[in-house]
Amino acid sequence: MILDDLVAATQRRLTTEQAAVPLAEMVKRADNVPTKDPQQVYDRFTAPGIHLIGEVKKASPSKGLIAADFPYLDIAKDYDQNGVSAISVLTEPDYFKGDIHYLQEIASEVSVPVLRKDFVIDPYMLYQAKAAGASIVLLIVAILSEQQLNDYLKLAHQLGLAAIVEAHDEDEIKTAIAVGAKMIGVNNRNLKNFTVALDNSERLRQLVPENIAFIAESGIHTRADVQVLEANHVNGILIGEALMTAPDKAAKIKELLG
């Protein structure tokens, strides 16, 4: 199962990273970065309209290499100047060819909040996200216990980070709500077998109260896809592949947002 592989790879990476920069040092680095107000991110996504999170990614387990040529900073600036509400940056190196340094550079050059897209399995990764300049982190229900989710969400907020709590089915939505998520992302891609079903977002939207921002992730490629989600009162859409493969990213953003 790919999710198990991703978690195992993340555990190996953490061991190496913590040997290079111990937790105490990473906490210090995070402390040196001004603390933001996560509520500003939540307010941004519950405001009227549909909000686009543009993703910067080089590869994925389901598609392999997406962008051989990868001017990540130019791509992020392109997104920033053309109406995205946030930018998602993959920092997972083994399967997505991501890097925390991409995030660091992008966060220092754009005006919108930046999401660290990774498989958070340890508090260290939250301090690391803040130190790199992220405003948002991803917490995935499928890879964390309810206690971990609760603790990591609290820690994220203490660090001034908003969190997208990612769920895939009814039970995971209930868990996300139970731990106090203020922004829930529904992945239309099943991380166990990588199939995509856009109606996953439509189905689960009704379980999430209106005061919690609802973000649809994966499998969104066209204006028609976005219109379906808009009709279901989805607050935000996270789009990676459709933007990464578009020769004219500004035009693609305009097309998607109508």
Two tokens, residue 228: 């379906």
> Is 166 known to be catalytic?
yes
Residues pairing with 117 in the sheet: 90
Inter-residue contact 253 to 82 (CB < 8 Å): yes
Question: Is 218 noted as a catalytic residue in this protein?
Answer: yes
**Catalytic site residue from 36, 60, 166, 200:** 166
Q: With CA atoms as reference, report the closest residue to 167 among 188, 182, 137.
A: 188
Active-site annotation holds for 187:
yes
Active-site position among 60, 85, 201, 218: 218
Bridge partners, residue 140, by sequence: 166
Q: Please tell me which residue in 55, 92, 172, 241 is annotated as part of the active site.
A: 55
| Rg over CA atoms, the chain | 17
Contact 129, 115 (CB under 8 A): no
Q: Which of 217, 235, 241, 252 is catalytic?
A: 217
97 is catalytic: no
The residue to which tokens 């996270």 are assigned: 238
Annotated active-site residue in 36, 57, 58, 97: 57
Instruction: Please tell me which residue in 36, 97, 117, 182 is annotated as part of the active site.
Output: 117
Active site residue 55: yes
As annotated, the active-site residues are 55, 57, 117, 166, 187, 217-218
